[in-house]
Amino acid sequence: MKTVLITGCSSGYGLETARHFHMHGWRVIATMRTPREDLLPRSDRLRVLPLDITKPASITKLLEAAGPIDVLVNNAGIGLASAFEATPMETVRDVFETNTFGTIAMAQAVIPHFRERGAGTIVNVTSSAVLAPIPLVAVYTASKLAVEGFSASLALELQPFGVRVKVVEPGYGPTTRFTANGQTRMEGLFPGPYGALAQQFFGAQPEAVTVELDVAQAVLRAATDESNQLRFPAGPDAVALARSAHNGLLLVR
């Protein structure tokens, strides 16, 4: 029986992914900054542990408690929509600290164990924002594009050691708490000159679609995939964007 460690499981994609892996017979280590065991089924195959991916000591403590794992799912992330001109650099750094550096830190922490064993998979969750330019999410997109480039290079670097790296690209899913969690961070970041653009863009967004299960299924496919496929779009809009943007060519490294 294999073990998966998933970051950011308090809501949205991470929570659904933890449930999905458990349903398919995996041992699951679900992590959150503030653990809530009531969110997931009680099971001897499921543990909820604390983790703040921006703190090295928290990562070390988690991995000591978790023991050997077969798959790492880097799902934890924060959202940000803003006019870049009005976005404080402190906010930019906060987004990168979690979305980019937190993901990289988790990968670096597990790689020695995977390499020594000659097996293991790292699944990095990014966004469909990397597939086509979108206004008012420049910082968020940059943080996720950095992970895409990191993952593509790392996949080749670790291939000789039997370690796989995959990327899951979720589509637009406003029914998750992901967008809501960023509201405080976004206050005051749409000054007057950008009001019309914000109204035009956000007013044109598609009707809310639940994509959590699509993402969970894509993560499981990525975690068990033995081919050279790198990218796994998840959700109808992400799949459509991937096909139109790359015509299928960049889904495989």
The pLDDT > 90 percentage for the chain reads 73
Residue range 28-69, pLDDT digits in tens: 999 999 999 899 999 999 999 999 999 999 999 999 999 999
pLDDT at 253: 40
Q: Is the pLDDT confidence value at 4 over 70?
A: yes
DSSP state of 61: H
| Beta-ladder partners of 233 | 169
Residue-level pLDDT at 189: 72
The residue among 16, 5, 31, 4 whose CA lies nearest residue 178 is 16
pLDDT at 244 (0 to 100): 77
Domain chopping of the chain, boundaries = 3-251
Given the residues 13, 140, 172, 194, select the one marked as catalytic: 140
Most confident of 32-41, 90-99, 240-249: 90-99
At 224, the pLDDT band (50, 70, 90 cuts) reads: very high
Measured CA to CA, the distance from residue 121 to residue 164 in angstroms comes to 5
Q: Does domain 3-251 have CATH number 3.40.50.720?
A: yes
Binned at pLDDT 50, 70 and 90, residue 176 comes out as very low
Q: pTM for the full model?
A: 0.90
Please, where are the H alpha helices in 67-194?
A: 89-96, 103-117, 138-158, 177-180, 183-186
**For this structure, is 13 an active site residue?**
no
Spatial separation of the C-alpha atoms in residues 115 and 159, rounded to whole Å? 10
Give the CA angle between residues 5, 64, 60 to the nearest 5°: 85
pLDDT level of residue 104 (50, 70, 90 thresholds): very high
